[in-house]
A and B are shown apart, each in its own frame.
Chain A
């Protein structure tokens, strides 16, 4: 008879070969967990190769979920549970497992061949020499799964395809989860393949029932989280970003035009948007990154809500286009879902190293507002804000996300459409004899005169413009004036910021931790732990990286030390030091992996004054 123990929070890490269906098992566990009412955060981590060398550590694909009945801010540091489909998955992840953790090992993945591929010396099976502080379930998943499917007309290889669902079924049993949502998912996904449908259903149930047959098995229950009231769904960053763009187009009453070139980890935005053409969304898969941004510029000229998304290498190619749209003073949202760089770098790993590129990476004096999303669900708000800013200020806006936000997921209290901010596009409706293409309003914003409107015919281009008329001008004084006018227009964006507030802490104290982007959750946990230990620590998280909010300085100067953790070699810290003359200290991690809260906590403690 198994017993059920109640837990507040758990971190499970699913790992296997990149062909093992780990991401699918992970996302199914996530959806079921979300529907069960837990708070959660996920982190998929997979190799760049579609079929990385089988059985090797380099080919291991992982999916981590942290869920609980309490607030969850990160995908968890060290996992409590490791599901290892083979020896390589075991080898890669076992050092991270918490002491007292649980290992579910597919013993079929620890045969001679797998051991050799995973690099174990002398084919010594680690399962023969298990760390004592861990608890093991050694299950021959491959064999049991084939057994469950034995009368289906499929090859052993085909049968093995659903063994991930056997593992998932077993984990569902351990965590007292319902199979319902995943069974429903099978019905939709394998509608046209009855035998695959049957195999998946059987595998899932077989895994679940296997749990039932083990004597004295410890089961767990994680109660619903006490999340704020509201309606929720689970969402990834890229999905949320796509929905934010659609919402912005609806609010602005413009058609969304999205041009992109396939690139990891941004492609899912294109995939998501292409499904919603009934919202007037036009998606254009361009021949290259340059065509993607320039097609978007053509759309902006015609009056579309124009968007292009990419990652670092693509961003490099879009640089000249960004300069053009900045001269044209047309709205454009450019999304950079950052990944490890430079060059092709680490396509599937996360990093925040394109901040300098976003702030400075153009020829000439070329300021562009920069916004960063801070969690998967926050990508919705960030996209909406970026689009609103671009449209209302007639400027390109760079929106920074990253691989960790893009693929990670969390519950999202989605808003009602009527609660979303209005967006008013400065479109000129009718002919005006006094129309001057580069005349500006009080905020330095020119008007948007769309081709097709009689009487507003005008020419724009990348050559320097004469103030007000927009005619080509090489006049020296005019050039200086235009550079200043464009900069002033971008600075004016900050007037619409909501006042800066601390996420946690008092206006003054010992250490202020300043972050941007995906580090928010890890910093939040670290700072709250520091505060619980009585330290005078605060957390400030930046949404707008250019222009920086003018009220930021008060906070920076209210603390004795400023700590800036970043997944780069120290970029924001450089900006803060130069702009505010504060002795801010960087804390850099450049490993393609997000911060662990404990790493930040340790750093905070180091910086505390010793009295």
Chain B
């Protein structure tokens, strides 16, 4: 088998295992786009590793013909950290979901992001527990009726991107299962970013939460309900009819036909943490839902810093000498 770069096709990344998601599940699309994108990234197949936790999304590694681990519930970020620190040459992808990554594994996720280990996190958000057959998840809307909340859920939902920004993530993006091109673009950008990349993918669970993102994916509604973030460009949506301007720190929707020009609008700058945070709070019907890269920052990665320490230790303490280590500083001889 060749491991030369750029000679792969999507088929090379498809494993021999039968894919067992429900027909129509959004996970299929994400898998397909991943298999399409990886041959173009210039990574050797043997250097790609997918690490997942538990849940529907976490079956993902079984279907990629690469190294992979289907670990335990919520722990994929920690597993991936140990893997990456041991072999920094690997391209490591964490596949998680809203239950896995934000409920049971929330702690590991935020600590991974603040450490900025150089790996990619894809959080498939379907706002429901699918594998356990339909309980509300930490991203389900308040009042959601499910089997475990027959009178409506009492939980205030997480805003995953605001959480990631709060944890000082260095790459924060949102994309959709139903938009292959957008999805591929974000996967590429995520790979390119050095440090922890956090990508939320709106994923339809057609069995237990069908249509939850319909407003954002439906071709007719999407132009009006979402905002495509483009670096250096003004925030325009609704087919060019509307834009967003900042009034102080307050975002406002303005009609471009009513005397506002693109010059009045907020221009997207993904290096601005404050604006990224404001964007992440576009989270109800009053504002369009931002898609794309909200934030990216170049910050030293944990793996780099660790390697620097290792090099430095070698420089200061010298080459390892086991006998000297065992002897220690204060030894004596019994003759």
Contact = CB atoms under 8 A, between A and B. Distances in A.
Interface of A: 31, 34-35, 37, 181, 224, 227-235, 243, 246-247, 250, 255, 257, 259, 276-280, 282, 284, 286-288, 290-292, 294-304, 306, 320-321, 323-324, 328, 414-417, 431, 450-463, 471-472
5 contacts: A34-B332, A233-B332, A287-B78, A328-B69, A454-B44
Nearest to A431: B1
Given A37-B334, A324-B72, A416 B323 contact: yes
Interface in B83-141: 83-87, 89-90, 107-108, 111
Contacts of A230: 333-334
Given A291-B81, A302-B90, 15 more contacts: A34-B332, A232-B331, A232-B334, A259-B82, A276-B313, A277-B310, A294-B78, A298-B86, A304-B82, A453-B46, A454-B1, A455-B46, A462-B54, A462-B70, A472-B62
A295 B78 contact: yes
A257 B334 contact: no
Contacts of B107: 287-288, 291
A176 B323 CA distance: 32
B325 interface: yes
Sorted nearest first, the 4 A-B pairs with minimum C-beta distance are A461-B70, A298-B82, A295-B82, A277-B313
Nearest to B50: A459
B71 A291 contact: no
Given A303-B87, A462-B71, A250 B330 contact: no
B72 to A, nearest CB: 5
B69 A291 contact: no
B87 A452 contact: yes
B289 interface: no
Contact of B81 (A284, A306, A460): A284
Contacts of A228: 334
B314 interface: yes
A255 B86 contact: yes
B79 A301 contact: yes
A463 B70 contact: yes
Contact of B62 (A278, A456, A461): A461
A553 B202 CA distance: 62
B81 A298 contact: yes
A459 B320 contact: no
Nearest to A300: B82
Nearest to B80: A298
Nearest to B47: A452
Contact of B320 (A243, A280, A294, A457): A280
B330 A461 contact: no
Contact of A280 (B81, B84, B310, B326): B310
B90 A451 contact: yes
A467 to B, nearest CB: 16
B322 A35 contact: no
B75 A294 contact: yes
B22 to A, nearest CB: 17
